[in-house]
């Protein structure tokens, strides 16, 4: 019953937000990639700019909340290889959560490579802990088989309990190419809250990703496009495949966030199966321009 209640409250959350506040923001760095303040400071300024354009973190996090921040920490790669979320983006979101009154911020992922390697190598573990968050290697004993209402494929699946029980979920993915789905964006990043035989998702990836997105429904979605992995994703490894886009996308509409994110890889929203499926299910609007996104230069 508690899980059902939480899902009900989450589904209402967008409707309870201020009507005048934008659903989508796009922060872009106006200086050259060789700007003297460096990429770490740029990532922080972009992240704050994108969230402030939505009305600030106080729109999403209240005093006493337990917040789960879900980066992409799937691969044993350094930050400059752009296979995992930028650690400075993650740290900035954590800091903003505490400034908004969060009681606890947890960070975790169920990675493809070993968490003991991916968490430190990505830079996310040290950045998150320095910002005051608790980083978790997801304990397999905390995955619970849950009924996923409205699912097309994942009628029942193992989901990490602490994510579902958190007061707020912030999904913070990275823009990168993927050999199967064409792009890893925000919605696909939610595969990291699932356990079990996730290779089965690949048999119907668009519906599986939409099933998870409809179940978790993060209150805030942030997409890191400071560095973008343009080829040989999702793991990458070759710096020649990494391009600077100097952009952070944020919003309450996870489909719109991903739809815009696709364009940063030279793709159309309709090229991404799970974006199309999410739109069809009413999880958001792939016609992101119709939301009149707030555009910010920092």
- d(Cα 50, Cα 26) in Å, to the nearest integer? 6
Give me the pLDDT at residue 12, please: 37
Residue 121: pLDDT band (50, 70, 90) is: very high
Q: Answer with the residue of higher pLDDT: 124 or 18.
A: 124
Residue 278: pLDDT band (50, 70, 90) is: very high
Give me the pLDDT at residue 35, please: 53
- For 200-222, what is the mean pLDDT? 97
Q: Answer with the residue of higher pLDDT: 3 or 296.
A: 296
Give me the pLDDT at residue 39, please: 92
Using one digit for the tens of pLDDT, what is the confidence trace for 79-115? 999 999 999 999 999 999 999 999 999 999 999 999 9
Instruction: Count the domains in the chain.
Output: 1
- For 144-151, what is the mean pLDDT? 96
* pTM passes above 0.85: yes
Could you give the 3-state DSSP secondary structure of residue 226? strand
- Is it the case that residue 224 has pLDDT exceeding 50? yes
Q: What's the first-to-final CA gap in the chain, in angstroms?
A: 45
- Is it the case that residue 20 has pLDDT exceeding 80? no
27-36, 138-147, 165-174: the lowest-pLDDT one:
27-36
Q: Answer with the residue of higher pLDDT: 251 or 298.
A: 251
Residues with Cβ < 8 Å from 40, sequence gap 6 or more? 88
- The pair of structure tokens assigned to 255 is 């489909």
C-alpha 109 chain-centroid distance = 11
Residue 188 and residue 181 in contact, taking contact as beta carbons nearer than 8 Å: yes
Residue 38: pLDDT band (50, 70, 90) is: confident
Report the share of the chain in percent with pLDDT over 70.
91
Give me the pLDDT at residue 37, please: 64
- For 134-157, what is the mean pLDDT? 95
Give me the pLDDT at residue 152, please: 97
Give me the pLDDT at residue 30, please: 80
- d(Cα 93, Cα 172) in Å, to the nearest integer? 9
Of 212, 206, 198, 211, the C-alpha closest to 271 is: 206
Helices (H), 81-183: 87-99, 115-121, 124-130, 161-165
CATH for 30: 3.40.50.11440
Domain of residue 133, residue span: 2-13+22-297
Give me the pLDDT at residue 210, please: 98
- For 166-174, what is the mean pLDDT? 98
Using one digit for the tens of pLDDT, what is the confidence trace for 174-186? 999 999 999 999 9
- For 203-217, what is the mean pLDDT? 98
- For 195-210, what is the mean pLDDT? 96
- Is it the case that residue 13 has pLDDT exceeding 50? no
Using one digit for the tens of pLDDT, what is the confidence trace for 284-294? 999 999 999 99
C-alpha 143 chain-centroid distance = 20
- Is it the case that residue 173 has pLDDT exceeding 80? yes
For the chain, give the mean pLDDT. 92
Residues with Cβ < 8 Å from 278, sequence gap 6 or more? 187, 209, 210, 213, 214, 254, 255, 258, 284, 286
Residue 232 and residue 245 in contact, taking contact as beta carbons nearer than 8 Å: no
Q: Where are any strands of DSSP class E within 20-116?
A: 24-28, 66-71, 104-109
């Amino acid at each position: 019953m508690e899980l059902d209640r939480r899902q009900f409250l989450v589904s209402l959350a967008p409707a309870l937000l201020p009507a005048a506040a934008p659903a989508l923001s796009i922060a872009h760095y106006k200086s050259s990639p060789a700007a003297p303040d460096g990429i770490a400071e740029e990532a922080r300024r972009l992240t704050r700019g994108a969230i402030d354009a939505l009305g600030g973190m106080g729109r999403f996090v209240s005093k006493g909340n337990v917040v789960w921040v879900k980066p992409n920490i799937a691969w044993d790669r350094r930050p400059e290889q752009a296979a995992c979320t930028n650690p400075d983006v993650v740290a900035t979101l954590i800091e903003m959560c505490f400034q908004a009154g969060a009681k606890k911020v947890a960070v975790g992922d169920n990675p493809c490579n070993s968490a003991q390697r991916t968490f430190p190598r990505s830079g996310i573990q040290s950045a998150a802990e320095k910002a005051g968050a608790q980083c978790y290697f997801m304990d397999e004993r905390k995955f619970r088989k849950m009924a996923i209402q409205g699912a097309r494929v994942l009628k029942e699946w193992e989901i990490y309990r602490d994510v579902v029980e958190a007061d707020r979920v912030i999904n913070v993915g990275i823009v990168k190419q993927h050999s199967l789905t064409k792009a890893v964006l925000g919605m696909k990043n939610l595969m990291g809250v699932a356990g079990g035989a996730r290779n089965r998702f690949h048999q119907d990836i668009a519906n599986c990703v939409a099933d998870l997105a409809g179940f978790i429904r993060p209150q805030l979605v942030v997409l890191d496009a400071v560095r973008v992995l343009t080829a040989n994703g999702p793991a990458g490894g070759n710096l020649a495949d990494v391009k600077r886009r100097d952009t952070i996308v944020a919003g309450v509409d996870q489909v719109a966030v991903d739809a815009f994110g696709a364009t940063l890889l030279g793709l159309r929203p309709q090229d991404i199966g799970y974006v199309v499926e999410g739109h069809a299910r009413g999880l958001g609007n792939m016609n992101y321009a119709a939301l009149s996104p707030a555009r910010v230069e920092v």
